Structure 1
Amino acid sequence: MTFDNQQFRQQFPLITTSDQCYFDSAATSQKPQAVIDVINEYYTSQNANVHRAAHKLSAVATAKFELARTNIGKFIGCHNSKEIIFTKGTTEAINLIAQTYGRANVKAHHNIVVSVSEHHANIVPWQQLCLATGAELRPIPLTEDHQLDLLAANELIDDNTAIVAIAHASNVTGVINPIGHLIKLAKEVGAVSVIDGAQTVAHLPIDVTALDCDFFAFSGHKMYGPTGIGVLYGKEGLLDAMPVWQCGGEMIKKVSFSGTTFNQLPFKFEPGTPNISGVLGLSAAVDFIKAQDNSAMHSYENELTSYLASELRKIEEITIIGDVSDKLSVISFIVEDEHPSDIATLLNQHNIAVRSGHHCAMPLMEHLNIDGTIRISLAPYNTLEEVDNLLEAIKKTLTFLI
């Protein structure tokens, strides 16, 4: 079965009306009309708070909200809705783990293993936890082709490792990490595994049960959903034992000045009025993805990426970072003696939208001894014509600069 790029593309209002070729989907994907409609419908005909009233509007909103939780959970292979915690995004989800499980379990003799290629959101929370507890933060280095050094990982993950926190794929290079192997290494030493799935959830099938990871976090806005909504999956036993983090309404059972008792999962970690429209929009994004022929869609995406990479390799001035086969539809490159921001600014004058800089991965840039990269991230709504326009614009930009 073939993928109908034009039919897919027509479902994204901004894509069909903008004069820009949008190659920044790793930062945030565009939103299909189906997601926008669900959000509009909630605010125009269903707007009410959830869980806290007996009236009809609240009952409808609550039912849709909890159905969304179940739908989103099943999408990643979780069949226990208590294990799905709604957050603002991947960043908040990782901070939640660090401030609850981490504070309760990590001691001075422990270490936490990450990689040098992590997003800041999967470094700084652990760094702060180590400062507070006296634990050691250990980064896994990369091989020469910018993949995780598994031999080094085998040495770094030891009997004192408490947490292994790894991105499913690099947000800079798109390189897919061998998380199955790292989860196994964590289990062998009794450490918990935390997987940052922000980049992969829209591109790869996710099954947290098969992975047997302890925690998995992702954001809605990178998978055709709204901003400000994300998910933390955690095994029920771990979540149940973790202390509360933020406190307020809904996460309590009883409050008095003699003491407070807390609510059961998942509400224990969802204080205050939740992002109801965001949850409904994320569930609509899940439905949108499930309605596609994902195998054909990802094949199309990979074909575009392979074509772009092969053409970029022909340009002498360009060096691709992480030029390997097992990667997402992300290509980062550098041009020697040229600043990435200058190139991105000039590409914008050709109506080409890319991202430049350190991509919230400064330790990786330090590891590579570069200031930053130009990152091109593709999605199934991109076309071959747009890729050719991008290549032509890059050539014109380099001619101007060099």
Structure 2
Amino acid sequence: MLLEFISECVSLQTVPELTKLVAARLHWICDYDTCTTLLPEPDGLSLWSQDRKVCTAAKIEDESCLSSHGTALRDAMAKGSPTVAYCNDSDRFVLALPLGSRTAVHGALCVGRVGKGFSQEDVRHLQHACSSVGGALARIAALAAERTAEHAIKLVESELRAAAEDRVLLAEQMVGIVSHDLRNPLSAILMGTSLMEMGEANPAKKQRLLQSVQNATRRAQRLVEDLLDFTQARVGKGLAVQMANVDLDELMASIVDELRLSFPNLEHHLPDHPLGSACLDADRIHQLLGNLVANATLYGTPRKPVHLKCEINEGELVFSVSNEGDPIPPAMLADMFEPMIRGHQNQNEQHGVGLGLYIVRAIAQGHQGTVAVTSCAENGTCFSVHLSIGRMA
């Protein structure tokens, strides 16, 4: 029977399986009334108790249940050898044994019976059984560590695979920008300079060619700047911002004056009182609002005003840009601030690379802020940026 118990221990892979085996088979080896075991679990040792008559083990959560056998169990673990005790008040003999070897103890087992002590043969048989249980516990711990290591390796592999896929996607996006979006303005520049080199005599036509080249150059420059910002935000630790104390009223006046040169339909709504000052990156705020106004002009109703507001609301600095026009489809709202996302339009104009709103979000995050969008047929589309005054003070 002992050999059968030992052979069954060899095949077990979990602590509950081992507990079930001890409850069902240990009485073959030694006659006892009660059995208590301390077994290792991820969060520490757990106490199991069973009655010979019931032959089932129950996990005991109450530490007070250790009062009768706890000392013997812990002594056996500490000494690495059997410990025998006699309880006068209940005429109970208690035998506690370590689970494992002298050099590696993984738990303890305690058996008790009334009116009869334990013979040397009982102790020897129980020692063999406990050595087998200890070996099973060591093997179970090794399997658990191996599974944990395999899980950690798979997790690292998954993270590396995701990072590699992200790099591939980034490379594809870069190639797409350079091969498609940047090609058009460069072609316009090349064509314009070639025509001017041919010696166009008409001053008006020469002026138009020069204007076309300048527009294409500015467009190419804007694409390159967006690409650099995108790379910094995607690969680095976010978009760099240079914080400084700024007069908000002066900043907004400067931004509006410059934007109106390119977007004459821009309407700036002034607050009722001075905005005061805040700590922020003025150039990045200029870039943020420029992207939002350009986006609103591109996708809003032609020749309808684009509204720009800046206000202090409940301790936050809030910028909002709104326009009239067809609402953004609900399916697009969740991905509006992802890179390479472009809205649907019917105009045949040259459009950006799809990084404007991504950069807007990166600038807001660089200021510890957020950006949101609402869009419906009745009220149009509104992008709002919320920056905490408290964080910038």
Shorter-chain TM band? under 0.3
Structure (1/2) with the larger strand percentage:
2
Identify which of structures 1 and 2 has the higher relative contact order when contacts are C-alpha pairs closer than 8 Å and 6+ apart. Answer: 1
Q: Which has the higher helix share?
A: 2
TM-score scaled by length of structure 2: 0.21
Normalised by the length of structure 1, the TM-score is 0.21
> Which of structures 1 and 2 has the bigger CA Rg?
2
